[in-house]
Structure 1
Amino acid sequence: IVYEVTQMAKLPGYYTGGTVHFVINNQIGFTTDFDDARSSIYCSDIAKIIDAPIFHVNGDDPEAVVFCAKMAVEFREEFNRDVFIDMVCYRRWGHNEADEPKFTQPTMYAVIEKHANPREVYNQSLVSQNEVSAQLASQMEAAFKADLQARLDNVKQKDVPAYIPLKLDKQWSELRFSTPEDFEISPETGVSAENLAKIGEALVRLPEGFKPLKQIDKLLKDRRQMLFETKQVNWATAELLAYGSLLIEDKTVRLSGQDVQRGTFSHRQSVLHDVETNETYNSLNFIQEGQEPFQVYNSLLSEYGVLGFEYGYAMATPSTLVVWEAQFGDFGNGAQIIIDQFISSGESKWGIQNGLVLLLPHGYEGQGPEHSNARPERYLQLSAEYNMVVANVTTPANFFHLLRRQLAWNFRKPLIVMSPKSMLRHPLCVSPLDELTKGSFREVIGDAFAKPKKVKKVLLCSGKVHYDLFEEQQKNSRDDVALIRIEQLHPFPAKQVTELLSQYNKTATLYWVQEEPENMGYWTYILRAMGQGKMEVISRKLSASPATGFMKVHNQEQASLIQRAFA
C-alpha cells in the first residue's frame, strides 16, 4: 500500500497539499534480516520516487525526533509537498511479550536486552547535563507508575459496564446507526421534472467554440433525444442525472477509478475533450450558479491504494457520495484487503460507518475469465448484520434511485453494485424519465406479463440474465413462467419476495437462475436467505475458472442456460 499511496502524492485527485509520512522503523520483522526484506539501503527510499526529503532520526533521542517533526511540518506548510521521517528504533519483545526474538536475531536482541529504554536514556542525558536532578526524575517516575497502578486497581474493583457505542461526532452528528426496519422499504428519492430538465440541459450543452469529437457530437444528440423527445433514458444518462440531482441539492459527488471520466465502455463521457485544443469540459459543473462541483478523477493504475483512499474520503465526509468504479469488476480482487478489513467489517469492529459505493462491472458476454465476473459470491459471503448493501440492478431508474438513496438515508452503509456492461446499450435497458420523478429504489421487481393462475414455474434471478430470460419469455409468449428480479441481494428483501411469490400457485416450482457457475454467483447465498430445499438452481456447471475464453463456447453455454430455464 505504501508504494501505491506514495505514487498518488502529486496526482490531482489525491493531492493533499503534502503529507508527513512518519515511519516507525522498529525493525519489527525480527525473523527477517533487513537485507532479506528490501533491495534499497533504507526502508524510506520509496520517497525518492517523488523527490521527497527524508529525515533519519534515532528514536532514543526524543529531542531530535521532535526537531525532525517540527522541521517536517514546516517543510510541508512551506512547499505543500510530502516529507518522510524515518525514526530508527526497536521493539524490546518483538511482535509481543510472548515472542522470543532471539530465535532468529540472537546478537541483535542480546544488545537490546542490555540497552536502556528511551526514557532511561533521556533521563540519564538530562541528569548528566544538569537539566534536572536525579531525585526529581526519580520522583516523577514513581508518581507516574503510582498513577497507572491506581487506575488499574480502580478498574479491577468495579463491575464492567455494558458496552455503549460512542456517539457519532462532528460531521456524523446528524446521522445515526441503522436498524433492521430501515431496510424493509426505501425512502422516496424522486426528483422534480424541472430539476431533471435543468440537469439534462447541462448534459447536452457545450461552451461556445468547443469542438467535440464526431462520436461525442452524436452522443450529445442522442442524449438530447432521450431527455427531451422520447423521454426514455439509458443507464449512463440516469447515472449522470443522479449525480447532477445531488449537486444541486448542495451535496458533493466524487467519482474515481480507471477511465471513469469516459467510462470503461465509453458510455459515461462526463468530461469532454476539445479535438483541437484538448481543453476539457465537465458538463455537470454547469447546471446552475452556486452548485457543488462534480469531482471526477481518472485514477492511477491501482485498486488497493485508490480504494483505500476513497474509503478514507467517505469516512471523513459523510455528506459526499463517494464512488469508486473498477475498470472491470474482476479487478476488485486487487483491493481485497480494503474490502475485507475495512468496508465489510469496519462498523462491526470499530463502530465506524461508511457510505462508499463500489461499481463493479459484471456480466457474461464472452469476454473471458478475467473480464466477466466481479465475484459477487465473495461480497455476499462477507454480508451479515446489515453491514453493507449488495445490489445487481436491471433498470436505469432503479440505479438512479439506488445512488440517491445512499445520501437520503440518515445513516451510512457501503454499497456494492454489480454494474452492467452490455446492458449499457441494450435496447430494453431504458427507463421512462417520469420514473425518476417519483418513487424509490425497488429491492425486488415482479413480472407484469405472467398470468399468476397459469404460472407453473417461477424463475428468480439478479442482473443481466433477466434480459435473456425476458426475451425468451416474450418470444414464446410463456405467460406460465414468471420472472422475479432480486435487485438488492443484501440485506435480503425476504418480506417482499414472499409477498410476490404468494400470488402464484403453491405447486409452482421455484428456480434460481444465474449466468455464473454453480459454485460462484449468488446461489449459496440464496440458499441461506431462502432456506434449503425450496428451490433448485439453473446455472453454468461447477468451474474453477469464472468463464470460458471462447465466444462460441460462451454462446452455447448461454443458450443452454436459457433453454433449461424454460424447459
Structure 2
Amino acid sequence: MNDFSFIANAHPSYIDSMYQQYLQDPDQVEETWRAFFRGFDYAGTATNGHAEGATAASSEALDKEFKVLALIKAFRNRGHLLSTTNPIRKRRDRQPNLNLEDFGLSEEDRQLSFEAGREVGIGKATLQQIIDHMRKVYCGNIGIEYHHIQDREKRRWIRTKMEGLEPDTSYGFGNDQKRRILEKLNGAVVFEKFLHTKYIGQKRFSLEGGENTIVALDGLINKGAELGVQEVLIGMAHRGRLNVLANIMGKTYAQIFNEFEGTAVPDLSFGDGDVKYHLGFSSQVETPSGKNVHLKLVPNPSHLESVDPVVEGFARAKADILYNSDYDQILPILIHGDAALAGQGVTYETVQMSKLAGYYTGGTIHFVINNQIGFTTDFDDARSSTYSTGVANVVQAPVFHVNGDDPEAVLFATEFAIEYRQKFNNDVFIDMVCYRKHGHNEGDDPKFTQPEMYDIINNHPDPREVYNRRLVERGDVDKELAEEMEDSFWKLLQERLDEVRENPLPYEYQEPEQAWRELKKTTTPEDYRESPDTGIDREAVDKLIKHLTSFPDGFTPLSKVKRLMKGKNKLLEENKLDWAMGELLAYGSILMEGKDVRMSGQDVRRGTFSHRHAVAYDAKTYEPINRLDGIQEGQGKFRIFNSLLSEFAVLGFEYGYSLASPDNLVLWEAQFGDFYNGAQTIVDQYISAAESKWRRMSGLVMLLPHGYEGQGPEHSSARLERFLQACAEFNMTVANVTKPANFFHLLRRQLARPFRKPLVVMSPKSLLRHPECVSDISEFESGNSFQELIDDPFIGPRSGKKVKRLLLCSGKIYYDLMQKQREDDRKDVAIVRLEQLYPLPDQQLQAIFDRYPNAEPYWVQEEPSNMGAWQYIHSIFLAKEVVVNTELKHIARKASASTATGFKEVHDQQQQRIVNLAFGEE
C-alpha cells in the first residue's frame, strides 16, 4: 500500500504547482509525488478515453483528491473518538472534526469517485465508500490511537493490519475460536454467579461487567505462546483477581471456596497471611497449540498500581537468569483499573522506565479494566486526560480502546497487541471499556453516588448473554454453536455448584524457585546469635585489590580518579582499605563465587559522594569500563545502573528483581537516605511485610546514606526510627555500620545464611573518607565474620570495672565520641557500637553490661530524641529483654518536628553539646 498521507499536509496551491511541473517533466518531481500523480493521471485517462485526459485533470479535482486524503488521515488519527467502545452509555462528544465540511467537501461529493481509495486498499471508490470503510475500521467496537507513534514502520504495520481487518465477519475468527471465547465467558460468568449466590455480601471485588478480561488473558497467553513466550508474569489489583486465579491460573474452586468458608486456616507459624484477593499463585498451562507456559500472578497489597514495578523487576530478573536476556520469552502483563491508571503516579514512573537499559523488559501489555468509575468517583473527577491511558503517549505506545461487551473485538485487540509487542518490543495498552456490576465491593450500594448509571447497568445483560445473542443473530452455524454452549453452560453451572474437589494444574519448579525452596522457611533467635564466617582467603583478597587498583592497558583514567587511586594505594602501603574498597571487595568476592550482583539507584555508578566509581571513563575516548568485569573466568555478572529520578518504581523494581533468585545480591541505593520515603509504600507493603503476608522471602539490600553533618533536614536522616518500628518476627535486618570490613561481611552475609532477609543499611557519607574509618586487610580474610556489636577497642580486657560511664551508640557519632575520648584520655569511659540494631544482639549486649558492672549506661545518638534508635532501644530495656542494674539514659538532640536544623553553625553547636553531655560535661 502506497503511503500518500504526507500529501494531506500540503497546501493546494503547492500541490497544483507540483502537478504542473510533473506534467512538464515527471523526472523533476520526487518519486512519491510521481507515484501519486501517475494514479491520478490513470483515473483521468480511464475517464476521458484518451491520453490527453491526464492534462485535462483540473486543479479543482486534484484539490478534492487531497481533501479526501486529508479526511482519510484524520480518520486514522482521530477516528477512535467516534468508536463505539462504551457498552452502557453514549460516549461524550470529543469533537473529532470528521465531518465533510471540516475538509471542504460537500454532500454532493459523496457519490464522486476518488483515486484516494487506493490509499486505504479498496481501489478507486466513491467518497461514501471510503468513509464507510474508514468508519468500519476506526469507529467500530475498536478504536485505536497510534498516530502519536513517531516510528513510520510501526505506524504502517498497525495501519496495514487495521485497514485489512473485517470486523463485520467476526474479525476472521472461526468456530473453534468462537467456541473457546464462549467457554471462557461461561467460566467467568459461572464463577461470579456461584460466589454471588453462595457468599452474599462477602467482599470478592467481582469481575462482573468485565468478564471479557478472561477472554483477553486467555488470548494473550495462547497467542504469546505461538510467538515464543515461555513465561507470563501478571500484576493486578483486587478487581477480578479471584476470577483470574480460577479461570486463568487454575487455582481450584475448592481452594477458593475454602478461603471464603474460612475453614482452611493456614499454618501461621510462617506469617499472618493476607486476604484472598491479594494472594499470588503460580501454575503451568498447555495452550491449544500444545505449548506449555509458566504463569505467575504476583501477590499485591491494596495500594493500587504498586505491584507494577515489582512485576517488571521480576520479569527482568527472570529474563536475565533463565532466558539469557531474550525478552521475547517472558511477558509482563499489568492489569489496571481506569481510575488507578490515571491517578497513581507509579504508573507513570513504571512506563517511563520501560525503555531504559537497566529496566527494560521487552515491552509490557497493559490491560485496563475500564469500569468508568473509581470507587465512587466519576471519570470526570478522576482525570484530566481524554482517556485513562494518557500515559501511553510517554513511550509512544499504541492504545486499543475496545468495547467490553464484544469478546471478538477484545480478542482481536489482544492478539494484535501481543503481535506488536513481540515484533517491536514496546509497551501496548488495551483499554477495555466495560462497567462494574456492583459497588466498589459487594456490600456497597453504588446508587448512592451513580443512580442513573446503575439503573442502566441493572438492566444490562452480562457479556455472555450479549455474545450468545450475537451468535444467534449471525446465522445457522453460529446459532447451533450458541445453543450447544447454552446447554453446556447450565450443566457446568450445576456441576460447579455441586463440586467438592478438583485437581490443580501441574507446576514444575524452575531452578531459581528450587533454590528458594531449599532455604529455611522459619528462623529462630539462635539463627541470629552469631554470623557465619564470611571472610575470603588472602589470595582472593590480593587478587581483587590488584584488579580494583589497576586499569586495562590503553585505558586513561580521569585525573580525579587517578588521585583517588593514589590515595587508596597509600592506604594499601599501611595494609588498610577504605569504605569504597571494602564495598567493591564484597561485590568482587561474590562475583568470584559465580553469583551475580545488581545495583541501581540515582548516580550509583559513581556514587552520590564520588566514592564508588564502579564504572570509570577513559579521559581520551570517554568510553566506560566496569571495574568489576574481567576478574576471572566464569565469574558472575556485575550489573550496575544509574536509575531514572524515581524512588517508588525503582525500589519496587529492585524488590521484584530480588524475588527471582536467592543466589543474587540485589541492592538499591538512595541518593540521600531520606529520599527513600518517596517509596514508603514499597517498604511498608512489600519489604517489611511480604514474608508474613505472602511467604515471599527477599534478600534485597537498601543503602540509605544517613548521618548528621550540617546538610539540613532533607539530607541528614534516613528515618532509622521508621524501619525499627516496622521490625518484628525477624522480618529484616537494620544496620548502622562503622567499619569497611564490617560492611564487607554484612553484604556477604546476605548470601551466606540459609535464609534471606531484606537488609537496611544506614550507610555513611563523611565516613567514606574519614581517616579513621578504615580496616586492616587481615579483617577481610577467612575466619572473620560480621560483628553485630563492637566493644571499645581502647579499654583493656581487665579494665572493665574501672569504667564509670558506658556510651552505647550506632553509626557516625562513634567517631565524634572516640575523638573526644582520645583527646581527653578518658579511660573511664567506654564506647560500644551497635552495628546491627535489629535483630538486636541481646546476648552480646548483655555481656557488655556484665563487663562494665560499675558503669552508668547512656544511649547516645545524633538524631532528635523522638527519632533515631532511642525509643526502640528504650522499649527493649523496659521490657527487660536486656537486663541492666540501673536506668538507661539517653543523650540526643531535643525532640523535633524536623529531622535536622538547616543552619550549619547551629548544627555544630548541637553536635558538640551531644559529645560534651556524653562525657558528663554540661
Please report the TM-score for the alignment, with normalisation by the length of structure 2: 0.59
Cross-structure match for 2:891: 538
Cross-structure match for 2:770: 426
Residue 285 of structure 1: SS of its match in structure 2?
coil
Residue 439 of structure 2: SS of its match in structure 1?
coil
- 8 A Cα contact 2:376 2:440, kept in partner: no
- 8 A Cα contact 1:285 1:294, kept in partner: yes
1:389 positional shift: 0.5
Code of the residue aligned with 1:69 in structure 2: it is T
Cross-structure match for 2:858: 511
- 8 A Cα contact 1:238 1:397, kept in partner: yes
The one-character-per-residue Cα deviations of 1:112-142 (angstroms, maximum 9, x if unpaired) are 1111112222232333334345653343222
Cross-structure match for 1:164: none
Cross-structure match for 1:445: 790
1:476 positional shift: 1.3
How far apart in 2 are the matches of 1:452 and 1:62? 79
Q: 1:32 aligns with which of 360, 368, 377?
A: 377
Code of the residue aligned with 2:686 in structure 1: it is F
How far apart in 2 are the matches of 1:534 and 1:116? 72
Code of the residue aligned with 2:498 in structure 1: it is A
Residue 622 of structure 2: SS of its match in structure 1?
coil
Cross-structure match for 1:161: none
How far apart in 1 are the matches of 2:717 and 2:539? 39
Residue 800 of structure 2: SS of its match in structure 1?
coil
- 8 A Cα contact 2:513 2:660, kept in partner: no
Distance 1:494 1:151, change over 3 A: farther
How far apart in 2 are the matches of 1:184 and 1:120? 64
The one-character-per-residue Cα deviations of 1:130-178 (angstroms, maximum 9, x if unpaired) are 43456533432223322332246x79xxxxxxxxxxxx94442332224
- 8 A Cα contact 2:521 2:755, kept in partner: yes
Cross-structure match for 1:68: 413
Cross-structure match for 1:559: 912
How far apart in 1 are the matches of 2:481 and 2:584? 69
Cross-structure match for 1:529: 876
Residue 323 of structure 1: SS of its match in structure 2?
strand
Cross-structure match for 2:108: none
Q: Structure 1 residue 139 and structure 2 residue 487: aligned?
A: yes
How far apart in 2 are the matches of 1:233 and 1:315? 33
Q: 1:46 aligns with which of 378, 391, 406?
A: 391
Residue 284 of structure 1: SS of its match in structure 2?
coil
Q: Structure 1 residue 211 and structure 2 residue 559: aligned?
A: no
Cross-structure match for 1:470: 818
Distance 1:554 1:58, change over 3 A: same
The one-character-per-residue Cα deviations of 1:271-318 (angstroms, maximum 9, x if unpaired) are 111223221011101211232221010000000010000000001122
The one-character-per-residue Cα deviations of 1:510-533 (angstroms, maximum 9, x if unpaired) are 111100000000011112222267
- 8 A Cα contact 2:672 2:706, kept in partner: yes
Cross-structure match for 1:116: 461
Cross-structure match for 1:400: 744
Code of the residue aligned with 1:233 in structure 2: it is L
The one-character-per-residue Cα deviations of 1:79-120 (angstroms, maximum 9, x if unpaired) are 122111112122111210111112222211111111111222
Moved more, 290-299 or 340-349: 290-299
How far apart in 1 are the matches of 2:720 and 2:543? 36
- 8 A Cα contact 1:28 1:94, kept in partner: no
- 8 A Cα contact 1:30 1:104, kept in partner: no
- 8 A Cα contact 2:516 2:662, kept in partner: yes
Code of the residue aligned with 2:538 in structure 1: it is A
How far apart in 2 are the matches of 1:146 and 1:499? 68
1:424 positional shift: 0.6
1:235 positional shift: 0.5
Code of the residue aligned with 1:149 in structure 2: it is L
- 8 A Cα contact 1:204 1:221, kept in partner: no
* Greater fraction helix: 2
- 8 A Cα contact 2:376 2:446, kept in partner: yes
Cross-structure match for 1:149: 497
- 8 A Cα contact 1:347 1:353, kept in partner: yes
Percent sequence identity over aligned pairs: 57
Alignment of 1:355-434 (within 5 A): 355-434=699-778
Residue 3 of structure 1: SS of its match in structure 2?
helix
Cross-structure match for 1:165: none
Distance 1:16 1:466, change over 3 A: same
Moved more, 295-304 or 270-279: 270-279
RMSD: 1.7
1:184 positional shift: 1.2
Cross-structure match for 1:14: 359
Code of the residue aligned with 2:688 in structure 1: it is S
How far apart in 1 are the matches of 2:655 and 2:629? 24
Q: Structure 1 residue 80 and structure 2 residue 425: aligned?
A: yes
Q: Structure 1 residue 479 and structure 2 residue 827: aligned?
A: yes
The one-character-per-residue Cα deviations of 1:56-93 (angstroms, maximum 9, x if unpaired) are 12222222222222222211111122111112122111
Alignment of 1:8-407 (within 5 A): 8-129=353-474, 130-131=477-478, 132=480, 135-151=483-499, 169-180=513-524, 181-227=526-572, 229-407=573-751
How far apart in 2 are the matches of 1:19 and 1:71? 14
1:481 positional shift: 1.2
Distance 1:169 1:286, change over 3 A: closer
Q: 2:807 aligns with which of 438, 450, 459?
A: 459
How far apart in 2 are the matches of 1:316 and 1:24? 28
1:345 positional shift: 0.3
How far apart in 2 are the matches of 1:21 and 1:189? 44
Residue 356 of structure 2: SS of its match in structure 1?
coil
How far apart in 2 are the matches of 1:25 and 1:231? 64
Gaps of 5+ in 2: 1-345, 503-511, 880-885
Residue-pair matches, total: 552
How far apart in 2 are the matches of 1:484 and 1:36? 57
How far apart in 2 are the matches of 1:426 and 1:250? 33
- 8 A Cα contact 1:461 1:514, kept in partner: yes
1:381 positional shift: 0.7
1:411 positional shift: 1.3
- 8 A Cα contact 1:28 1:95, kept in partner: no
Code of the residue aligned with 1:176 in structure 2: it is K
Q: List, as ranges, runs of 4+ consecutive aligned residues in structure 1 with deviation greater than 6 Å.
A: none
Residue 199 of structure 1: SS of its match in structure 2?
helix
How far apart in 1 are the matches of 2:818 and 2:492? 74
Distance 1:135 1:84, change over 3 A: closer
Cross-structure match for 2:842: 494
How far apart in 1 are the matches of 2:394 and 2:855? 64
How far apart in 1 are the matches of 2:520 and 2:852? 39
Moved more, 556-565 or 15-24: 15-24
